[in-house]
Structure 1
Amino acid sequence: MGDAQTLGSGPLLLIAAGAIAALLVLIISVKLHPLIALVIVSIATAFATGIAADEVLDVLVDGFSSTLGEVALLIGFGAMLARLVETSGAAEALSDALIDRLGESRAPLALGIASLIFGFPIFFDAAFMVMLPIIFTVARRVGGGVLLYALPAGAALTTMHVLLPPHPGAVAATILLGADVGLVILVGLVVAVPTWFVAGYAYGTWIGRRIVLPVPEVLMGGPRVDSADPEMPPVRVRTLILLLLLPLGLIFLNTAATTATRTGAIDGEATWVALLQLVGSTPLALLITVLVASYVLALRRGESRRAVEDLLDNALRPIAPVLLITGAGGMFGGVLIASGIGDALSETLQDTGLPLVVAVFLIAAVIRVALGTATVAITTSAGLLSSSIVEADLNAVQAAAVVIVLAGGSSVLSHVNDASFWLIGKLLGMSVVETFKTWTVIKTLVGVIAALLGSLVYLVAS
């Protein structure tokens, strides 16, 4: 904003609450399209909080573009990879192998465990798009509705994304609070597995059996590479697993190079280091995987280049609504941040007088609910609390536990100002109410359980 904010914390927080309530009414009761509702409420909130008229458009566009700048390429390349995996029969081959070895009743558990592993180095959006065709194929074969399989997998991915480095929120909190990265990973892993089992597997399968939805057609359409064609060799399960591990390995190289640079083990100015980090960045890792998959799953098996081009083009068409609504959710969050509501929350919550771990959780949770982005919530909270935590003279394990508690608070109550709320809801074909009953509850359980377990580690280490 060009001018300093003149409204006090109270009015700003009331405006934020009113804006969120207005969104819910417009989307749920009035049935206004979410994209239109988000833009209207974002504009109204900008004016209500005193953002100058000549700055409103810039704030809206910045919020929209910064969100899509993070997820558009991931979703786009992820959709292409998902389409190749689904149409080639590779997803069907892998799902058959999983079910043959573990049984149909354990399919949600198998998908969840695979997602825990896959979600360790890969950001939530990209990992979910890669897992989606496998989830859809298992759901079609076994039956019982798509949520029964998608929710445990999605919960596993978001649990790893929220709690563990190298994901951005956990990294920011670790640095700002002066914690040790290795200990944060260790404590995070100890916390993540039981957290996922209760929030993702137990609740996810329970609610997935009660809200039965068909497998969406979001990845369908366009030409199919027919794996049943006798002239086209079948895709081996080993081939698909290696393909799925390719972005994992590239991103691991990026992480290793970045960590070695920060510790001084290698020269961060070296050209080869920069190239390694570039190739291992998530968008380029997915791009490379799409290129390899295009050859391995289609061209090498006899498909024409034109058919592959059409297939990839068709993969992008169904995701346009998902991208636009996700960007609009980021727009609304950007308005809340630019208006000074985040600063107002920080000032209001700073002097809570509560025990450290309780204050850490509540501050992160309230900022998360107001602003909608976990990364901003955890970064803002860590910056706000850093001096207090340094003064508390915590030992290394306690500091790592505080990072986990903070990360837990940043996960709770995902709703209409959170990009992942729209991403999950739209990709899985859920209504807004169904997304609240499933994804919002799962994200809240992940945050609360992780914070409780992190607090237990904190107390034991005292």
Structure 2
Amino acid sequence: MFSEIAPLLIVVVAIVLLLGLIMWLKLNTFVSLIITAMVTGILLGMPLSKIIGTIETGMGSTLGHIALIFGLGAMLGKLLADGGGATRIANTLINKFGEKRIQWAVVAASFIIGIALFFEVGLVLLIPIVFTIAKESKVSTLYLGIPMTAALSVTHGFLPPHPGPVMIAKEFGADIGQVLLFGFIVAIPVTIIAGPIFTRFAQKIVPEGFTKTGDLDSLGKQKSFKIEETPGFLISALTALLPVFIMLISTVVDLLTGSPENPKGILGFISFVGEAGTAMLISVVFAIFTMGISRGKKVNDVMDSLTNAIYPIGMMLLIIGGGGAFKQILIDGGVGKTVEQLFTGTAMSPILLAWIVAAVLRLALGSATVAAISTVGIVMPLLETSDANLALVVLATGAGSLIASHVNDAGFWMFKEYFGLTMKETFLTWTLLETVISVSGIIFILFISLFV
């Protein structure tokens, strides 16, 4: 029995080790992650000759997805900030919604943006705007940051076209339209619960976190503007949301055409342009004109903004890569197979089983997408003899894959570094936030299952 659960116990030991290195020995987070990944690989019985290769693979796969988006997103944010666009957007939202309802403005904007963008892209894109709004409305960055990340995380876990829901729906044979419909029914109340409502609770349990201004250094030096010096709201909003529009158009076309595997001609071009990296690059070029050249700025000054956007994110990229390395060690070390064996042969409801399996995999492996996709193989045999609604099984898998994000998840480190939090504060805000999303999500899903 012990040998069967040993990999899960090793995961617990690894997490304790990581926390000890960071919180007690005060080691650099990236160094701590790499040390923990190596020790975990050894404890899991991986050949010593493969541990470094696995770490490199984990860093490469994580940064391969994030680095391009991260870099271009930082540039777009910096151009918006230095060109005055972020200030104009912030002032307009404050004036339209009023300072008392500014949280709801952020929730609405984040939810809309989150439908089309990957979590990391949306976070990088919205952070400069949220920081500016917080500064202009004189509230904590975390007060707006929690609702923002709640909306982004909910759309990432529940709604197509995000990779998790789409891939799971295809594997289960679920109707993507039903997934989208039920997904919206679940996502809206969950976003409200995990956003504005949870923020009030978080202010009571981590009051010190709400006194911090966030890591503004990660966005570079911020400029101050008089409102008359800034570009118009429409052009500022278009510049900020251009990648959303581009990717949304591509997504709609994919849904209408059935997402062919190797699209050619005009469909191939739309698919290429709709890729996150391409959309961000086009948006950066557009911002160079709207936030720089068209406002009479010299090209050299605009290029300085791009250069200055990259310097501060170097360590954050390494930390995220380190989280990816740790995740890959857990995957290659067989932790996923251990979870699969634990749930083989169960007679539990597929909806509840999908949530539990995805939750355990999320805790063990870190990546929400990996946890969701890995759950498919475990739950699939049970669906053959069940009449459970497949769209709800998809959503339950997505809900489980969001639970309790911690040190083996890139999102944990992004949230911590951006908002300048300690490890304890990050656990009591970000980790708890993700848990609220997951638990409230499965409650709504089970309630819907009573009627469909």
The percentage of aligned residue pairs carrying the same residue is 32
In 1, Cα distance between equivalents of 2:274 and 2:219:
29
Q: Deviations for 1:231-273, whole angstroms, at most 9, x for unmatched residues?
A: xx63000111222332122112322343345366xx9542332
Q: Deviations for 1:203-223, whole angstroms, at most 9, x for unmatched residues?
A: 124425723211432355469
2:49 paired residue number: 54
In 1, Cα distance between equivalents of 2:236 and 2:384:
47
In 2, Cα distance between equivalents of 1:284 and 1:426:
26
1:410 paired residue number: 401
Structure 1 pair 12/220, CA: closer, same or farther in 2 (3 Å)? closer
1:316 paired residue number: 310
1:295 to 289, 302, 309: 289
1:392 paired residue number: 386
Structure 1 pair 110/263, CA: closer, same or farther in 2 (3 Å)? closer
In structure 1, stretches of 5+ residues that fail to align are 1-6
Write the mapping of 1:35-434 to structure 2, written as runs, cut at 5 A.
Answer: 35-208=30-203, 210=207, 211-212=209-210, 213-221=212-220, 227-228=225-226, 234-262=230-258, 268-394=262-388, 398-434=389-425
Amino acid paired to 1:9: E
Stretches of 4+ aligned residues off by more than 6 angstroms: none
State TM-score, norm by structure 2: 0.94
Q: Deviations for 1:251-300, whole angstroms, at most 9, x for unmatched residues?
A: 12322343345366xx9542332222111101110111011001111111
* Residue aligned with 1:119, SS: helix
* Residue aligned with 2:115, SS: coil
1:438 paired residue number: 429
1:4 paired residue number: none
* Residue aligned with 2:398, SS: helix
Amino acid paired to 2:410: A
Amino acid paired to 2:352: V
Amino acid paired to 1:236: G
State TM-score, norm by structure 1: 0.92
In 1, Cα distance between equivalents of 2:350 and 2:219:
50
In 2, Cα distance between equivalents of 1:386 and 1:279:
34
Q: CA RMSD in A?
A: 1.9
In 2, Cα distance between equivalents of 1:125 and 1:333:
17
Q: Deviations for 1:116-146, whole angstroms, at most 9, x for unmatched residues?
A: 1111011111111111111011111122311
* Residue aligned with 2:353, SS: helix
Name the count of aligned residue pairs: 447
**Larger mean Cα displacement after TM superposition, 410-419 or 207-216:** 207-216
* Residue aligned with 2:451, SS: helix
Kindly indicate whether the alpha-carbon contact (under 8 Å) linking 2:8 and 2:335 is maintained by their aligned counterparts in 1. yes
In 2, Cα distance between equivalents of 1:369 and 1:40:
20
Kindly indicate whether the alpha-carbon contact (under 8 Å) linking 1:121 and 1:166 is maintained by their aligned counterparts in 2. yes
CA offset at residue 391 of structure 1?
2.4
1:12 paired residue number: 7
